[in-house]
Amino acid sequence: MKYVILGNGPAGVSALVAIRELDPAGEITVVSPETWRYYSKILLTRWIAGKVRFPNLFLAGEGFYDRNGVKTLFGVAATRIDPERPVVELSNRQRLDYDRLLLAMGSSPQVPDIRGIRLPGVHYLRTFDDAERIALAAPSARRAVVIGGGLVSLKTAEGLLARGLEVWVVVSSDRLLSQITAPEDSEAVLRIFQGPPGLHIVLGCDVSELEGRGRVEEAHLSTGERVECDIVVVGKGVTPNILVTRGTGIATARGVIVDGRMQTSVPGIYAAGDIAECYDIARGKAALNALWSSAVWQGRVAGYNMAGRDVSYAGDVALNSVTFGGGCVVALGRPRPEAGDEVHTLAGKGGGEYARLVFRDGRLVGAVLTGRAVETAGVLRSLIVRQADATPIMDRLLGGRTSYPRILNLKLSVSGIAS
Ligand SMILES: Cc1cc2nc3c(=O)[nH]c(=O)nc-3n(C[C@H](O)[C@H](O)[C@H](O)COP(=O)(O)OP(=O)(O)OC[C@H]3O[C@@H](n4cnc5c(N)ncnc54)[C@H](O)[C@@H]3O)c2cc1C
C-alpha cells in the first residue's frame, strides 16, 4: 500500500505513526514545504522570548523518519491532486502516486488589506522560519506593533516584551480574544494582560496604514495616532490550506469536510488537523478547531482508517488557554451564549477569579475561566465532552455567588461522574 501524507505537523505525524503501527511494510511518504523535522508551534513564542532552547522545539529526534521507514520530501509543496489517476503533483514537478492520501496541510495566516502590508519588517507567525525571522529582527528593534488580539498575537507580544521591546497590541474588536470569549468576559480577560511595563493594548482600533522607506517604520492607527515601530507582527486569524483541493471533487466549506472516519468526499483521501471540519461536541456540529490536541487525535484516527482499521473520531471540545505573566485565561467549548442558553457568571473578590459557565438544556457547553478558576478546566471539559446532565451537581457548580472554592471542590465531588 502506498500512503502519501501532505503535511509534517501534528496531524501528519500522528497519522504516519498510526499507519506504521498497523502496516509495517507500507510505503509512506511525507511532503512538506518546510525543511525542519517535526517541531512544536506552541513553543515558538517562548523560543522567541529566549525561554526555550532551539533543540527543545523538536518533537521528533533526528532518526525518527528513518526509524519508521518513512520517505520525506521536505522543501516541496503539493500543488495539485488528481484523484482519477490517482496522483499528487509537487512544486518540484515530481508526481507521487498513492493508494491513500492524507491532507494535513494546516492553515496559513490571513493577510489583511492594509496599505504597506508587504513592507519588509512585517511578519506573521505560523512556522519556525517565521519565528526565526522575528527573533533575528528583535535585537535591533525598539518597538513592535502586533496587529490582532487573538491567542497567537498575545503570545507573540509576550515573547517580544521578554526580548526588551516595547509592544503595541492593536485590536479591531473592543476586547481581547474575541473569537473565544463573549463581550461580558472582556474586563476579566483584559485584567490578565494589563500591567507589564512596555505593553500598550489599544482596543476598538485598526491599523489603517503601514509606512516606511524600504521597511516598516510607522503604523497609522484609525484613531489618528502614529506609532513608530521597527517590527510589525500580524495575527488576524488563519485560513485552511485547501487550495490544492480545487477541481478534485473533494467537498469543502471553510475547511475540508470529512466523515467520522476522517475520510473526505473522495474515497481514499482523508483530512485531519487545522484543515479539517470535524465534529465539535459543544457545538453539536462540524467546526474548524485549530488546536494541537485535536490535530493529533484526528491524525491518529485518519491514519488508522487509511491502514484499514475502522476507527471513529468521537469529536472534540475546544480548550484554548493563554498564560501571560502570572495570569491565565481558559476558554472551553462554546463560550459564546446563544438564544435559549442559561449563563451563570461568578466573579471572585477584586475580580482576580472569574468563571462564566454556559448551559444548554442542563448540559454544560462552554466556559471562560480566569484566576484560580482555571484549575477546574479539566473537570469542566469532561462535563462538556460527556454532555451529562449537570442539574444534579448544579449547586456545586455554581456554589455561592463568589465562592470559588465551591467550584474548585468540584474536582473531588464529581470525580465519579466526570472522572
Ligand atoms: C505560534 C502558535 C502558537 C500556537 N499555540 C497553540 C496552543 O497553545 N495550543 C494549541 O492547541 N494550539 C496552538 N497552536 C495551533 C496549533 O499549532 C495547530 O492547531 C496545529 O499545529 C495544527 O496541526 P496541523 O498538523 O493540522 O497543521 P500544521 O501544524 O500547520 O502543519 C501543516 C503542515 O503542512 C505543511 N504544508 C503546508 N502546505 C502544504 C502543501 N501545499 N503541501 C504539503 N505540505 C504542506 C506545512 O509545512 C506543515 O508541515 C498554535 C499555533 C501557532 C502558530
The larger pLDDT score, comparing residue 115 to residue 351, is at 115
Q: Specify the pLDDT at position 397.
A: 66
**CB 8 less than 6 A from any atom of ligand 1:** yes
**CB 44 less than 6 A from any atom of ligand 1:** yes
Q: From the CA of 186, how far away is ligand 1's center (Å)?
A: 28
CATH code assigned to 319-418: 3.30.390.30
Q: Specify the pLDDT at position 371.
A: 87
Proportion of the chain above pLDDT 90, given as a percent: 84
139 — pLDDT class (breaks 50, 70, 90)? very high
Q: From the CA of 324, how far away is ligand 1's center (Å)?
A: 22
Q: Specify the pLDDT at position 145.
A: 98
**CB 45 less than 6 A from any atom of ligand 1:** yes
CATH code assigned to 2-108+238-306: 3.50.50.60
The larger pLDDT score, comparing residue 196 to residue 59, is at 59
Q: Specify the pLDDT at position 353.
A: 81
Q: From the CA of 32, how far away is ligand 1's center (Å)?
A: 11
Q: Specify the pLDDT at position 414.
A: 37
Domain definitions of the chain by residue range: 2-108+238-306, 122-234, 319-418
**CB 14 less than 6 A from any atom of ligand 1:** no
Q: Looking at this protein, which amino acid is placed at residue 344?
A: H
**CB 36 less than 6 A from any atom of ligand 1:** no
Ligand 1 atom with minimal separation from the 13 CA: 25
Q: From the CA of 369, how far away is ligand 1's center (Å)?
A: 25
The larger pLDDT score, comparing residue 123 to residue 352, is at 123
Using one digit for the tens of pLDDT, what is the confidence trace for 165-196? 999 999 999 999 999 999 999 999 999 998 88
Indicate if the pLDDT at residue 345 is higher than 90.
no
Take residue 356 and report the three cell numbers written for it. 462564566
Indicate if the pLDDT at residue 419 is higher than 70.
no
Q: Specify the pLDDT at position 409.
A: 45
Region at 111 (left for phi over 0; alpha for psi -120 to 50; beta for the rest)? beta
What would the mean pLDDT of 400-418 be, rounded to a whole number? 40
Indicate if the pLDDT at residue 395 is higher than 70.
no
Q: From the CA of 45, how far away is ligand 1's center (Å)?
A: 14
Q: Specify the pLDDT at position 275.
A: 98
Q: Specify the pLDDT at position 333.
A: 96
Name the residue with the closest Cα to ligand 1, atom 37.
105
Name the residue with the closest Cα to ligand 1, atom 49.
8
Using one digit for the tens of pLDDT, what is the confidence trace for 198-218? 999 999 999 999 999 999 999
Query: Comparing C-alpha atoms, which of 170, 202, 157, 182 is closest to residue 322?
Result: 157
Q: From the CA of 305, how far away is ligand 1's center (Å)?
A: 22
Q: Specify the pLDDT at position 351.
A: 64
- Mutation to probe ligand 1, out of 41, 57, 381 (largest number of atoms < 8 A from CB): 41
**CB 34 less than 6 A from any atom of ligand 1:** yes
Homologous superfamily of the 122-234 domain (CATH)? FAD/NAD(P)-binding domain (3.50.50.60)
Using one digit for the tens of pLDDT, what is the confidence trace for 287-320? 998 999 999 999 999 999 999 999 999 999 999 9
349 — pLDDT class (breaks 50, 70, 90)? low
**Whether the domain at 2-108+238-306 and the domain at 122-234 fall into the same CATH topology:** yes
The larger pLDDT score, comparing residue 396 to residue 126, is at 126
The larger pLDDT score, comparing residue 348 to residue 189, is at 189
**CB 10 less than 6 A from any atom of ligand 1:** yes
- Mutation to probe ligand 1, out of 155, 256, 274 (largest number of atoms < 8 A from CB): 274
**CB 159 less than 6 A from any atom of ligand 1:** no
Name the residue with the closest Cα to ligand 1, atom 33.
7
The larger pLDDT score, comparing residue 254 to residue 351, is at 254
Ligand 1 atom with minimal separation from the 126 CA: 53
What would the mean pLDDT of 365-376 be, rounded to a whole number? 90
What would the mean pLDDT of 72-88 be, rounded to a whole number? 97
Q: Specify the pLDDT at position 403.
A: 44
**CB 188 less than 6 A from any atom of ligand 1:** no
Query: Per mean pLDDT, which range of 47-56, 225-234, 343-352, 377-386 is the poorest?
Result: 343-352
Ligand 1 atom with minimal separation from the 31 CA: 43
Name the residue with the closest Cα to ligand 1, atom 6.
42
Mean pLDDT rounded to a whole number for the chain: 92
Q: Specify the pLDDT at position 399.
A: 56
Q: From the CA of 43, how far away is ligand 1's center (Å)?
A: 12
What would the mean pLDDT of 94-105 be, rounded to a whole number? 98
Q: Specify the pLDDT at position 390.
A: 80
Ligand 1 atom with minimal separation from the 290 CA: 19
Q: Specify the pLDDT at position 347.
A: 78
The larger pLDDT score, comparing residue 354 to residue 33, is at 33
